Structure 1
Amino acid sequence: MQLGQTGVWSIELRTADPHEITDAATELDELGWGALWIPGLGGGDILADSQRLLRATRVAKVAVGVASIWRHRAADMAAGHTRLQNTYGRRHMPGLGVSDPAAARDAGRPYRPLADMGAYLDQLDTAPAPVPPTERLMAALGPRMTDLAGRRTAGVHPFMVTPEYTAAARDQLGEGPLIAPYQAVVLERDPDKARTAAREFLQVFLGMDHYARSLLRQGFTEEDLTHGGSDRLIDTVVAWGDTEAIGARVRAHHRAGADHVCLHVVGAGPAMPLAQWRELATLNS
């Protein structure tokens, strides 16, 4: 499934007032964004929330980045995905993730990431209405999970990664599999304000073991991960500045081998960041 070169990744497109979400999705579609991404959050009816966006759009794909395999039964995901594909012109792309050990414990299961994801994909393959590998992707950060994604899904949707990570993933996967990195962005030219906004958003993730290990593998140090993240980490993981500066980061991911880059506007307050999405839409041309 072709997602286009750029997409919008948004918590607000899942949690805001439904009428506001519909209006925003319609406008984003008209602005030329290739895909609208919504997070899995704590579960909930991700299929209904995807349907709201599909109903409001004509061209844009709707992707989930990502749904925890512990919070959504494979049979339900397969049936719902098939229904959405048949109704809205094959524009739905579910992303899947193994979350962390706490999520597995909450589901009453041991945590075996590769085996758990493999078993879930088996269930999608053997469902009454199977989900084709080309119509699903995975959150993958480590090399073994990336390999699994390349073999059994359309590709990977990595979180909090650099263009250098994208290049390494492309080297590992070769040509063909989709690489669609998440990219946090702050539309702010003042370095102090931009870094403050970035730290406020990222600090919770820096304390999560799987994300911390990913950043260490990318060449950051333990010191980089303290106090909300060093300037080096913030400046490398978050794109901030004007539209041209953010566009430069998007182009860096594409040169490194990304097929699609989804942009998450952070630091804009609790409201729907329509003004920022409109400004960033110039990157679609």
Structure 2
Amino acid sequence: MDMTITVTPELGTIGIWRHYSGIPPELAHTIEGAGYGAIWLGGSPPANLASAEEVLDATESIVVATGIVNIWSADAPEVAESFHRIEKKHPGRFLLGVGAGHPEATQEYKKPYEALVDYLDALDEGGVPIGRRVLAALGPKVLKLSADRTAGAHPYLTTPEHTAEARAILGPDKVLAPEHKVVLDTDPKRARDIGRPPVNNPYLHLRNYTNNLERLGYSKEEIGDGGSDRLIDALVAHGNAAAIAQRLGQHIDAGASHVIVHALPDQADPSEVYREIAAAFL
């Protein structure tokens, strides 16, 4: 099979990120109706990709992407079979995001770069086209791999400054879809109190994220002890919808092709947040 022939789905400029278990049909309808171009399913969806298929079944045209399938827990041949099942049922609407997670998550985490290469080789063998997959990528080496072997990159927990660096590595034509957390609240202290816990636990204790933040200029002191206000403000946009839209737009200005809204707190119904931000951004 020619791995270059399948066109990458059109994601639009804005999408949402939510755990794969938290997208009931009515919420999927709300997201699609608000004008978002993609729903990204986080939390390491299983290799059967049933959660993606369910969201696709419940919607009409929005793209569904995984953010991300974990290479250590999802067998590549099974993922490839699942991809083809979904593609047959919903042609052109699914984007496979894969990644190596982080070393603290599994005892089997060894040589993640080589494991990613092997996984992409297995997806090639399974007929998953280059244009229908992206990599979770933070550092330069994996960003380069994203450019060489996939449609692009899906960075998580980053800033517009990282987006600019990633675009320089990816080149002008690849997908660059960073996730950004948001709290729709105009009280800065209250917004930080909501945003800090999900940033601190687990991400400020995982070295792939902390190394990336240090590369971006944040000190160990700022990263430690729950994250400084400056760091939390950089990673969690807050304020009214217009202020949040402006922050998200900085990713687009820095070179993102698509920016992904992650509404906090995760346990709350995000419907109104999604509506207000889309109205301000689109």
Same fold, TM-score > 0.5, yes or no: yes
1:121-136 matches, cutoff 5 A: 121-127=120-126, 130-136=127-133
1:34 corresponds, among 37, 41, 52, to 37
Residue type at the aligned position of 2:237 = A
What is the CA distance between 1:74 and its match in structure 2? 0.6
Contact kept in structure 2, 1:32 and 1:284, CA below 8 Å: no
For the residue of structure 2 that corresponds to 1:94, the secondary structure is: strand
**2-side partners of 1:208 and 1:110: how far apart?**
13
**2-side partners of 1:265 and 1:150: how far apart?**
28
2:143 corresponds, among 142, 146, 152, to 146
Q: 1:3 is matched with which residue?
A: 11
- Report the aligned-residue RMSD: 1.5
1:78-97 matches, cutoff 5 A: 78-97=80-99
**2-side partners of 1:237 and 1:46: how far apart?**
32
What is the CA distance between 1:251 and its match in structure 2? 1.2
1:216 and 2:220 matched: no
**2-side partners of 1:110 and 1:280: how far apart?**
37
Give deviations 1:3-29, integer Å, cap 9, x for gaps: 110001112xx224xxx7011112211
For the residue of structure 1 that corresponds to 2:16, the secondary structure is: strand
Give deviations 1:190-235, integer Å, cap 9, x for gaps: 0100111111111111011111111001110001112211011011
Q: 1:15 is matched with which residue?
A: 21
What is the CA distance between 1:157 and its match in structure 2? 0.5
For the residue of structure 2 that corresponds to 1:3, the secondary structure is: coil
Contact kept in structure 2, 1:6 and 1:35, CA below 8 Å: yes
CA change 1:231–1:271 in 2 (3 A) is closer
Q: 1:275 is matched with which residue?
A: 272
Q: 1:184 is matched with which residue?
A: 181
The size of the alignment, in residue pairs, is: 273
Q: 2:4 is matched with which residue?
A: none
Share of identical aligned residues, percent?
37
What is the CA distance between 1:284 and its match in structure 2? 5.1
Contact kept in structure 2, 1:150 and 1:177, CA below 8 Å: yes
Q: Specify every segment of 5 or more residues in structure 2 that has no aligned partner in the other structure, as ranges.
A: 1-7
Contact kept in structure 2, 1:70 and 1:103, CA below 8 Å: no
For the residue of structure 2 that corresponds to 1:186, the secondary structure is: strand
What is the CA distance between 1:70 and its match in structure 2? 0.6
4+ residue segments displaced more than 3 Å: 43-46
**2-side partners of 1:278 and 1:110: how far apart?**
39
TM-score (normalizing by structure 2): 0.93
1:196-215 matches, cutoff 5 A: 196-204=193-201, 205-215=203-213
Residue type at the aligned position of 1:152 = R
Residue type at the aligned position of 1:173 = L
What is the CA distance between 1:255 and its match in structure 2? 0.7
Q: 1:113 is matched with which residue?
A: 112
Contact kept in structure 2, 1:33 and 1:284, CA below 8 Å: no
For the residue of structure 2 that corresponds to 1:229, the secondary structure is: coil
Residue type at the aligned position of 1:24 = L
Give deviations 1:161-187, integer Å, cap 9, x for gaps: 110110111111111111000000010
